[in-house]
A and B are shown apart, each in its own frame.
Chain A
Amino acid sequence: MPITYTSNEQVEVYRFSVPVAIGVPLLALFLQAFVPLHFPRFAVYVDLPLLVTIFFAMARRSPIAGLFTGAIIGLAQDMLGHNPIGIYGIAKTIVGYGASSLGVKLDVENAGARFLVTLGFYLIHSAVYFTVARALVNMTQSWSWLHGILAGLVNAFIGVLLYFVLDRFKQRT
């Protein structure tokens, strides 16, 4: 059955095959680590693991599944850096929980809603990361609204395109 973006299906809960559930986050992490070698600005403006977290959380529509998805992807992202493990983990846990909670209540399957949701969650993610990094880890961080909004728009745009691709892997429960 083709997937449509109507309100009748907004409460539809999706699941994913194991290869997709594992492979897509891994691929996102791989691209996030590899692409900046050739396009250095990619790491500054794009957060593919965050987009994948938002997508899976919204599609599964289960806050617990969403927060665990965010936690696992975030912790894996932490492991690739040299900062203490858990900063991305906390930020993406909150985003996963929020995105899945939002997915239960709103129609998040049209492009406009997805754009706004992604923009909003990018800012939330950045704010949580900034807070944790400064308050708990004592890292020197600087906050820039301009950069945040710009990167949020870029992520939202890429996210909308990515979600359409990932929609093909959805399986109805």
Chain B
Amino acid sequence: MESVLGRYRNLIVLVLVLFAQVLGLAVQVKRGGAANDAQDTRLIRIWAVGALSPFERSVVWIQNSSRNLWHNYFYLRGVRAENRQLKEQIEQMRLEQVRLSEDAAQARRLQNLLAFKEQFIAKTVAAQVIGSSGSDLSRIVYIDKGEDSGIKRDMAVMTADGIVGKVLLVYPSESQVLLISDQSSGVGAILEKSRLQGVLRGAPNGEVTLERVMSDEQVQPGETVLTSGGDQIFPKGLPIGSVTKVAPGKDLFLNIKIKPAADLSKLEEVLVLVEKQERQSFADVHERVRAADILAQRLPSVPDKPAVDPNAPATASNAGSKPANGGPGTASTKPATNASTTPKPNSGVTAQSAAKKEVVPGQQASGSAPVSAATKTAKPVNSNPTQTDSAKVQPGPAIVEEKPSSPVPAQPKSQTPVEDNSPQ
């Protein structure tokens, strides 16, 4: 027996060592995938990362210091020309910003109509990439920020160009980031123009593909891919990349290859999204009309008395029956429906405030019917609707409608209570 053990000692040790590792693997796999496994083996991984990260931090620090020293103090050639060029670029971007801000305001108004809630990036933490897994079969990177900096598992990681991945494991002062090119990664994605949704996945060879898009859909190469927000990790609308190739795939789905917007192979600094806010998008408070006002305009009511102006008697009498979006006349006919309960002719603002307080969703239609008396009473006071005080919006199904952007004609107006849906 002893001779057998002695003769095959090497082989027996090999089998034992392999068996132990296979057993360890089986335990990890049985406990449910990489996520749980990572938690179970966290301590071991902390040791490994802790042994290497000081070296990585040191090398990265030396690299950055020498690079900064060179670029900031020595290599200043062409800086003036570049400065001039950047100033010109700023001027162009300012013009572009004006146009885009108009578009953004319009988008917010439309989102507001739908009570659209959007996730905003509230706070990010900048981090330096200090290492990788060193294997093309595990596409992860390490960053130099961890629990101490408020980083938690499943936080989104991005650069200015686009998303990078998500935090997979968090150590005290480092974190492991799973790149979107890893085959175990998955990101909810949407094509910018066609609005088709899919799931972004990494391939074993490091490519990124968009899955779950039906083969009968039309997808053009070059189209931008954005996050859809469906994964609850990345806020909606962050750039992912662009379509490079579209081919028929298996199971009636297209095989869409994506080129990530962020250069995943050369990451240096990244941003970790540590805080998201979900809030209703806001529009300008002066460009809102309450549902009660809209309904009041559409319901039959006693018309206003004609204005003093004898030349235009028909205008005043017809004003109350104009539709809500009937142009400039709309503004003049928004009655303070509930102001009938507080007829204070000398205090238009007070009347408005009272009216706003009484607006309760569900009562708007009924409250808007007996209109005209109060409207007439308050009319002379409130000549400028933009001076009304704003009130916080009450959460509920209140409908808001965009006012026409055209200037309101300077004619006698009824009270125009305005709701403020701006974020708290």
A contacts, CB < 8 Å to B = 26, 29-30, 32-34, 36-38, 40, 43-44, 49, 63-64, 67-68, 71, 75-77, 79-90, 93-94, 97, 101, 129, 132-133, 136-142
Q: Which of B1-55 contact A (CB under 8 A)?
A: 9-10, 13-14, 17-18, 21-22, 24-26, 28-29, 34, 37-38, 41, 44-45, 47-49, 51-52, 55
A33, A64, A90, A142: the one within 8 Å of B134 (CB): A33
Given contacts A136-B26, A136-B29, contact A79 B131 (CB under 8 A): no
Q: B169 near A: Cβ within 8 Å?
A: yes
B contacts, CB < 8 Å to A = 9-10, 13-14, 17-18, 21-22, 24-26, 28-29, 34, 37-38, 41, 44-45, 47-49, 51-52, 55-56, 59, 129-138, 140-142, 168-169, 176, 178, 182-184, 204-205, 265-268
- C-alpha gap A30/B182 in the complex (Å): 21
The answer to whether B52 and A26 have CB atoms under 8 Å apart is yes
List B contacts of A67 (CB < 8 A).
10, 13-14, 17
List A contacts of B37 (CB < 8 A).
84-85
B134, B137, B168: the one within 8 Å of A29 (CB): B134
Cβ of A73 to closest chain B Cβ, rounded Å: 11
The answer to whether B134 and A82 have CB atoms under 8 Å apart is no
> Across the two chains, which residue of chain B brings its CB closest to A32?
B134
Given contacts A80-B49, A83-B137, A133-B137, contact A37 B28 (CB under 8 A): no
Cβ of A64 to closest chain B Cβ, rounded Å: 5
- C-alpha gap A137/B136 in the complex (Å): 17
Number of A-B contacts (CB under 8 A): 145
B10, B26, B184: residue with the most chain A Cβ atoms closer than 10 Å: B10
The answer to whether B25 and A63 have CB atoms under 8 Å apart is no
> Across the two chains, which residue of chain B brings its CB closest to A80?
B133
Q: A80-B48, A82-B38, A140-B183 are in contact. List 9 more A-B contacts (CB 8 A).
A: A30-B55, A33-B133, A34-B131, A36-B134, A63-B14, A77-B134, A81-B135, A81-B137, A90-B22
- C-alpha gap A142/B207 in the complex (Å): 13
Given contacts A37-B267, A93-B21, contact A142 B205 (CB under 8 A): yes
The answer to whether A79 and B49 have CB atoms under 8 Å apart is yes
List B contacts of A32 (CB < 8 A).
134-135
- C-alpha gap A44/B183 in the complex (Å): 15
